[in-house]
């Protein structure tokens, strides 16, 4: 067991010392190189190799998921002030049919939760609370599901950069074996692929993880605030007076049993 643990460490150490020795020999034999920061982004993109293409795609997706996530978790999207005010007014009037109609037309998370609760309020407190919890869980799962793609990007992009590092090291050692350490110019392309690919993967992964945790906290706070608003509205809800009435227009599938609709199963002998 100890041998299995030490073997990757010894291999990594050997590769690191060999790489450092190769770079040291190349730096000693090479003339003064131009400043790396004088290169354009296109030059760095080309130097990074083929892994720059999927990393670039991940960077575009990261920006899209960040912008989309922060917009969908904003107060104006989850519980707008005018929606909350109107729903509170309708609840104070006892106009639950109007509250259902307004919540159905309003495009906000809190309105969706209110609609789910009011539509099942004639079935009693237990069914209403279950409908509210189910709708809040659905909204939370949807928002966290979209934010989780940032975590996927944060995990995958360093692996892509590591893949570019491995392929670049393979090219570097291949060139070193064929040309020797006396020709550092032949190693520059492979070495550049190693450094640029790794840095690019980390450059995308770090903000992706930061945005993921920020969005997760925003989602948790938003869902908690929605729960507080809905709890306040249903605190003194008149379940007894509304029982048996039709509030919403959701289709009801269950009805009284019709024992003659289908033949009864035959009894086993």
Helix (H) or strand (E) holding 138, with range, is: helix 125-179
Asked whether 150 and 66 are in contact (CB, 8 A), the reply is: yes
Residue 228 lies in a domain: yes
Tokens 């099942």 sit on residue: 120
The 10 Å CB-count burial string (b at 16+, else e) for 239-251 is beebeeeebbeee
Q: Decide if 126 is inside a domain.
A: yes
Q: Residue 77 domain-assigned?
A: yes
- Structure confidence at residue 60 (pLDDT): 93
| 254, part of any domain | no
pLDDT at residue 180, as a whole number: 60
Q: How many domains does the chain have?
A: 1
- On whether the CB atoms of residues 239 and 128 are closer than 8 A, the answer is yes
The pLDDT of residue 185 is 59
Residue 136: Cβ-neighbour burial (10 angstroms; 0-12, 13-18, 19+): buried
pLDDT of residue 14: 42
| Residues 150-206 pLDDT 10s | 999 999 998 888 887 777 777 767 766 666 655 565 556 556 667 777 888 888 999
Domain containing 169 equals 39-242
pLDDT recorded at residue 112: 95
Q: What single DSSP character describes residue 268?
A: P
51 within some domain: yes
The pLDDT of residue 38 = 58
Is 264 among the domain residues?
no
pLDDT of residue 75: 92
| Angle in degrees, 0-180, between the axes of helices 41-48 and 52-72, rounded to the nearest 10 | 120
pTM above 0.85, yes or no: no
Do the domain assignments include residue 68?
yes
Sign for the CA dihedral angle at 154, 159, 165, 171 comes to negative
* Residue 76 domain flag: yes
Predicted local confidence at residue 149, as pLDDT: 94
Tell me the C-alpha distance between 20 and 22, whole Å. Answer: 5
Low-confidence ranges of the chain (pLDDT < 50): 1-37
**R_g of the chain, CA atoms, integer Å:** 31
């Amino acid at each position: 067991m100890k041998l299995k643990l030490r073997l990757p460490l010894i291999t990594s150490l050997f590769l690191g010392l060999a790489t450092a020795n190769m770079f040291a020999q190349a730096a000693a034999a090479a003339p003064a190189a131009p400043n790396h920061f004088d290169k354009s982004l296109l030059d760095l993109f080309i130097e990074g190799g083929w892994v720059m293409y999927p990393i670039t795609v991940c960077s575009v997706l990261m920006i899209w998921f960040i912008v989309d996530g922060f917009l969908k978790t904003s107060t104006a999207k989850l519980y707008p002030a005018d929606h909350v005010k109107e729903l509170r007014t309708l609840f104070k009037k006892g106009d639950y049919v109007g509250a259902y109609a307004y919540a159905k037309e309003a495009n906000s998370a809190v309105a969706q939760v209110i609609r789910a609760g009011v539509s099942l309020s004639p079935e009693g407190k237990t069914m209403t609370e279950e409908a509210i919890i189910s709708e809040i869980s659905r909204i939370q799962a949807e928002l966290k599901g979209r934010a989780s793609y940032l975590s996927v990007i944060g995990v995958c992009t360093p692996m892509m950069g590591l893949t570019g590092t491995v392929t670049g090291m393979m090219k570097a050692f291949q060139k070193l074996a064929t040309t020797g350490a006396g020709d550092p110019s032949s190693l520059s392309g492979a070495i550049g692929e190693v450094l640029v690919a790794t840095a690019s993967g980390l450059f995308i992964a770090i903000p992706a993880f930061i945005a993921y945790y920020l969005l997760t906290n925003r989602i948790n706070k938003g869902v908690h605030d929605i729960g507080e608003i809905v709890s306040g509205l249903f605190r003194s809800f008149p379940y007894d007076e509304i029982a048996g009435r039709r509030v919403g227009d959701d289709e009801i599938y269950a009805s009284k049993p019709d024992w003659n609709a289908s033949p009864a199963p035959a009894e086993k002998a």
